[in-house]
Structure 1
């Protein structure tokens, strides 16, 4: 069966957009995303080593999928603290669709022959924790969920987060790749591309959402692990998402609409208006100046170089200069 997006009354979302969808035949809902230019702007700004850029790209995809589910004006932040070669990732989403991101890493680990070369994402993160924080603004309580990082991927982080905090069966796939193109008479150019899909099982009968307990680790000898027969519809949805290849998520020729049609058209997929995703930082001269005013006079004096205080935003690399006497 050929795919025709006009039959859905939609226009292709294109790159840098999240497409919500539901599959009534399987009682699932979800979102799919494709990222291109905005991802390149973020990653190229810092000239990260390729493994770091790939890992941060996965975190950006995951944050886009989760952040666009917010039903209010607020912020959603994904942040890791760990002992791996990439010891911190921060991706900050501001509703309705602005993202900024930053990675901190051990430069020595990514020199030729270093432990960061060729390492998989789970190894790059190492051990620590990942925090997902929802901030609904002033006068509203913040919510934060923590997931232990113990050699797991960001995909597994998302599964554990929803299993523990929301008790919603969730499956997620993330993919980040590089495209190499060559034009006549020009050197090859390289760009980053990424995509992801997240599905959640939300039947009308809550008892159908039962899940096996998370593995407790070292169990006493003779203890039986908790198992449960998963709902057939959810098993089918998970199996379909499991067939998604990385190249399907990163190939610009395979739109999110075409991918969703390939996976779910037999079960009746419905797609909704796409949500654009922008590379946009929240820093400003006024905000930086307000931060500087919170330092003591002695601390500000130590920051002065040639009569100026210079601050560079870690997210967008914007450089702010202040005359020392003005702060």
Structure 2
């Protein structure tokens, strides 16, 4: 069903803006996002193999959905460490709007995975752990939640994180796409696009939020699984989110508002002000110089390139050159 948002006094969030929303009839709140120029800039800057770019894009979308929920000027960091072809992902979100990201990977292992068709996020990550860290500043205690990586997708890992760390029923959908548009003189141009939706069940009564205990993995044979009947409102919300197709999340002409209308028009979705996301790194020449000044002389010598010390930021690929004799 087509409609004009302006008829309802709503301006579209557009690309790179998280749209918070609530469906009060189902006692759920959520956040939705379509990333365009920001994710394209991040991925194009690094020129990763396509499967690595897709995996990092999912992590950036997930981090942006979570990071924009911070109510303070802090940082939210998602980081993986694993034995897969992509050994590390780091996505750093500085509230209220700045995100940066990079991936570490073994080029030969990724090429082999591509040859075998094993390019799903769970294939590339392998086994290890994912950490989500909230840093409220130097005078506040940091909070970190860990989730095992065991061949599950980032969506499933997010579900486990909220079930264990936050104990909030949560469902997440993530998708990444590639846009090819005609260019006047050079064939086609390529752009990355990514999207995501996160929905959480937050009724007034916490009793309605009860979830079954997570299987410990070492229970004696024959132990009956802990089962709890899920709330009907939450079952309905999950079922609606499960109908979202990947191409709906990355359709540049759809927009998050139209997607939310498709999902929840019978119940009614309340939209809140969108929150912009910016591609912005925290590095600077002064910051890098300050770090170098803490290194020992032999460490500085090991970094020499002739009479220069060259440092390249892993996040934004900015190259900094310093006179080695100054350290």
The two structures share one fold, judged by TM-score above 0.5: yes
**Deviations for 1:147-205, whole angstroms, at most 9, x for unmatched residues?**
00001111011111111111100000000011112245541111111100000000001
Following superposition, the deviation at residue 98 of structure 1 comes to 0.6
> Does the Cα contact within 8 Å between 1:312 and 1:318 map onto a contact in 2?
yes
The within-5 A match list for 1:10-25 is: 10-25=10-25
Following superposition, the deviation at residue 6 of structure 1 comes to 2.0
Following superposition, the deviation at residue 115 of structure 1 comes to 6.1
Q: Does 1:165 align with 2:143?
A: no
Following superposition, the deviation at residue 324 of structure 1 comes to 1.2
- In the alignment, the residues of structure 2 paired with residue 4 and residue 270 of structure 1 have an alpha-carbon distance, to the nearest angstrom, of 16
**Which stretches in structure 2 are left out of the alignment for 5+ residues?**
none
Structure 1 window deviating more from structure 2 (255-264 vs 296-305): it is 296-305
Q: In structure 1, the residue corresponding to 2:305 is in which secondary structure?
A: coil
The within-5 A match list for 1:1-327 is: 2-111=2-111, 117-183=117-183, 186-327=186-327
Q: In structure 2, the residue corresponding to 1:69 is in which secondary structure?
A: coil
Q: Which runs of 4+ in 1 moved over 3 A?
A: 112-118, 183-186
- In the alignment, the residues of structure 2 paired with residue 103 and residue 48 of structure 1 have an alpha-carbon distance, to the nearest angstrom, of 8
> Does the Cα contact within 8 Å between 1:81 and 1:88 map onto a contact in 2?
yes
**Which stretches in structure 1 are left out of the alignment for 5+ residues?**
none
- In the alignment, the residues of structure 1 paired with residue 201 and residue 144 of structure 2 have an alpha-carbon distance, to the nearest angstrom, of 22
Q: In structure 2, the residue corresponding to 1:315 is in which secondary structure?
A: coil
- In the alignment, the residues of structure 2 paired with residue 198 and residue 276 of structure 1 have an alpha-carbon distance, to the nearest angstrom, of 17
- In the alignment, the residues of structure 2 paired with residue 184 and residue 319 of structure 1 have an alpha-carbon distance, to the nearest angstrom, of 32
- In the alignment, the residues of structure 2 paired with residue 114 and residue 156 of structure 1 have an alpha-carbon distance, to the nearest angstrom, of 23
**Deviations for 1:104-154, whole angstroms, at most 9, x for unmatched residues?**
001002336756754211011000000000000120010000000001111
**Deviations for 1:246-299, whole angstroms, at most 9, x for unmatched residues?**
000011011000001110111110001111111100000111011101111121
> Does the Cα contact within 8 Å between 1:51 and 1:116 map onto a contact in 2?
no
**Deviations for 1:184-242, whole angstroms, at most 9, x for unmatched residues?**
55411111111000000000011000111112225322211011100000000000000
- In the alignment, the residues of structure 2 paired with residue 77 and residue 221 of structure 1 have an alpha-carbon distance, to the nearest angstrom, of 38
- In the alignment, the residues of structure 2 paired with residue 3 and residue 201 of structure 1 have an alpha-carbon distance, to the nearest angstrom, of 28
When residues 8 and 138 of structure 1 are mapped into structure 2, their CA distance, relative to the original with a 3 A threshold, is farther
TM-score normalized with structure 1 length = 0.97
Q: In structure 2, the residue corresponding to 1:148 is in which secondary structure?
A: strand
When residues 213 and 115 of structure 1 are mapped into structure 2, their CA distance, relative to the original with a 3 A threshold, is farther
> How many aligned positions are there?
327
When residues 174 and 214 of structure 1 are mapped into structure 2, their CA distance, relative to the original with a 3 A threshold, is same
